[in-house]
Amino acid sequence: MNELLNKRIVLGLSGGIACYKAAELCRALVKAGAQVQVVMTQAATQFITPVTMQALSNQPVFESQWDAREPNNMAHINLTRQADLILVAPASADFMAKLLHGRADDLLSLMCLARPSSTTQLVLAPAMNREMWSHPATKRNVEQLRLDGAHVLGVGSGDQACGETGDGRMLEADEILQDVICLLSPKDLQGKRLLLTAGPTFEALDPVRGLTNRSSGKMGYALAQSAHQRGAQVVLVSGPTHLQVPRGVNVIQVESGQQMHHAVMTHLEESDVFIACAAVADWRALEPATHKLKKNDKQTPPTFELTANPDILAAVCKCEKALSGKLFCVGFAAETENLEQNAKTKLERKGAQVILGNLAQNTLGRDDNTLLWVDAKGTFEIPNNTKAALADEVMKQIAQRLS
């Protein structure tokens, strides 16, 4: 998805071994649709070449404030006036110390100082040895830079290039990309608290076998990510999936429908919106075996008495908070036929404000889908797109109805 389409980003590199990660970051920003202008300090060019960064950004790199390519010789003004954001990654301890004092003796620090702060955000992705990161001088500088309006991204922890282990690693390219998208997203869900379910559930038959379904969780995870980017506080109750939890989203991992029901009910009070996206197994074994069922010599397979799982969405829609209009409830309808009619029936049966209808055969395990928005006012289609784009449209529609 082109989350950064039409966004202009100055990617600044100061000196540090994490410069190798800036190449991947540059590529990720370009892939997300951004126009990237790379600016490197002299120290950065010791770690990675401008040729690499030019090839990845598709633009000549700037390294010096005396670069004569700009007709007025004012690269620090020209390159920052159109930019949505200056991202310094890696931001070395020395570079941050320099910024703190408003020094401007190279092009990148000059640009940070000269940027129009009301329109061009400054984002710093620090990278350094653990002792440098924990030094009181660095801590003071980071604190003051935050107070001065810079967004200082957290650091990663783990093995460092110097052989030591600890805090100070630059975040991975994908993590920085997510934070940048978040900073540049509309904040129409700011202050809202969103609770959602995602993925399949797994209902044990014995300790090694169980009933489940083919839901991947992709739609629910995309909704959680979009809501977070739009400023909401998100709690994601997830069944077993292989997906990475989006940055900034609080996750509660569960296995069965009963566990999912319990986790949702526990968090309802502090939620403004509930979205039921999980494919909850409708039935579970009444009495799962406590030990692995053995075949032995028996020819007859075992039989299980099944019992219904709680209908989480229906239960939430009936709670006092929802009935008094303080909780906006959205459900999905996975159908294989008669989509509109079945979705309308579910809207009524469950008591939700919105049902998002989709055809199971067009969504299970896939990265794209088509949705049918069904509410009391009528229906409209959200046309085929990636699940990330659909999620963004759904969150935009929800934000409009909450405002």
Q: How far apart are CA 290 and CA 254, in angstroms?
A: 19
* CB burial of residue 20 (10 Å; 0-12, 13-18, 19+): middle
Is 331 near ligand CTP (CB under 6 A)?
yes
CB-wise, 88 or 264, nearer to ligand CTP? 264
Is 309 near ligand CTP (CB under 6 A)?
yes
CB-wise, 15 or 257, nearer to ligand CTP? 257
Among 88, 257, 327, 387, binds ligand CTP (CB under 6 A): 257
Is 276 near ligand CTP (CB under 6 A)?
yes
Among 142, 177, 196, 278, binds ligand CTP (CB under 6 A): 278
Structure token pair of residue 143: 């604190």
In the chain, count of helices (H) and strands (E)?
Answer: 16, 19
Query: Are the CB atoms for 106 and 65 separated by under 8 Å?
Result: yes
The kind and range of the H/E element at 19 are helix 19-31
Cα 269-272-275 angle, rounded to 5 deg: 100
**Taking the complex as a whole, how short is the minimal distance between the CB of residue 218 and ligand CTP, in angstroms?**
14
Is 317 near ligand CTP (CB under 6 A)?
no
Among 83, 249, 312, 322, binds ligand CTP (CB under 6 A): 312
Whole-angstrom Cα Rg for the chain: 25
CB-wise, 226 or 256, nearer to ligand CTP? 256
Structure token pair of residue 120: 């061009």
Among 145, 332, 371, 374, binds ligand CTP (CB under 6 A): 332
Is 368 near ligand CTP (CB under 6 A)?
no
CB-wise, 138 or 201, nearer to ligand CTP? 201
Over the window 160 to 199, marking each residue x when it contacts ligand CTP by CB under 6 A and - when it does not, the resulting string is -------------------------------------x--
Q: How far apart are CA 229 and CA 345, in angstroms?
A: 32
Q: How far apart are CA 288 and CA 306, in angstroms?
A: 10
Active site residues: 162
Query: Are the CB atoms for 220 and 238 separated by under 8 Å?
Result: yes
Residue ranges binding ligand CTP (CB under 6 A): 197, 257, 276-278, 280, 282, 309, 311-313, 331-334, 346
